[in-house]
A and B are shown apart, each in its own frame.
Chain A
Amino acid sequence: MEIPYTVEVRPDTGIYNAKLGIWLFLASEVMLFGGLFSAYVLLRVGAEPGTWPHGWQNVALGTTNTIVLALSAITTLLAWVSCKVGQFGRFKFFHACTLLLAATFLCIKVVEYHEHLNNYEIYLTNGQIADGQMVENDPKHDYLIITGREVTDESALIDLRSQKYARETTFQIPRSEIKVMQNYGPWHNDYLALYFTLTGLHALHILAGSIVIGYLWGPGRKLWKTDPARFTNRVEVSGLFWHFVDLIWIFLFPVLYLT
């Protein structure tokens, strides 16, 4: 049995079925991310003055990832256009570029997550707070080593926008002087919980999109030989999903990195 309207336009909707399907799916995705963005806005607006973190993200890495995703949107479009004009070789090239850019994005995300998870806030028995990247945390030693700084007030760690160039040193902390120690994971505060949820969900979408694009680039390309018009439509549908994921990042980047 042949599946109807995979290539030709369905008279009542004016588009082929897969395109209608992806737009319905993307509408549900808008609701998913919309809910999380709403959570962000409500928690941020409801936070006590001076308690919402600022300047906690690596803007250089975030900007690089924005450029990487913007380029991947262009290569996705070019892959679709190549199919439209019958240049299959160019399609393979552009989709390979998209896959490479997606991998680059995910690698940079891993670096960013590692930076957060390796960053510790340590409350000391003398009332000071040590904050920085863990260098050594060997359970055999009765001390640990971090690269960062010591502050007397927790509020000095909330707004880091004007402290980007604050002097950092490497120092030892005896374990006996540690009162409480916690890394900057999603459990640390509302901001990081939202940061990890939003960017983690977005990264999962990048991964899912890469699998689909990888399929079309690899085993799925056999369809090009038998039904090029249907294959081109599949590339367009995957491109629509990819553009949606890129568009989500365009909102995530200023909200999480620049404010």
Chain B
Amino acid sequence: MSLKTFHLIFVTMLTALSCAFSGWAFAGGRLLAGLGGIATAILVVVYGIYFLKKLKKISYL
């Protein structure tokens, strides 16, 4: 597994963490932190797509 694949896993986990963080924040009444979590999740997904497009030629192995 190359660094590209591992980075993809990392980005996926980071997206999940951002969503979980926003869920935690909303449950605790922290509106701003919750919105920040959602914004971060969107940002990370956009970055993930961008990075995959940029590194199209690099192997997953």
Contact = CB atoms under 8 A, between A and B. Distances in A.
Interface of A: 14-15, 19, 23, 63, 66, 70, 73-74, 76-77, 80-81, 84, 161, 236, 239-240, 243-244, 246-247, 250, 253-254, 258
Given A15-B61, A84-B58, A236-B2, A77 B7 contact: yes
B9 A247 contact: yes
The DSSP consensus for interface residues of chain B is helix
B7 A73 contact: yes
B1 interface: yes
B39 interface: no
Contacts of A240: 3, 6
A244 B33 CA distance: 26
Nearest to A66: B17
B20 interface: yes
A124 B55 CA distance: 63
Given A15-B61, A243-B10, A254 B17 contact: yes
B51 A250 contact: no
B49 interface: no
Contacts of B13: 247, 250
Interface residues of B, number: 23
A174 B21 CA distance: 43
A74 B10 CA distance: 10
Contacts of B38: none
A19 B7 CA distance: 15
Contact of A23 (B1, B28, B33): B1
Contact of B17 (A14, A80, A253): A253
Contacts of A246: 10
A254 B24 CA distance: 9
Nearest to B14: A70
Nearest to A67: B40
Given A23-B1, A77-B51, A254 B58 contact: no
A80 B3 CA distance: 8
Interface string B19-61: 0110010001000010000000000100100010011001001
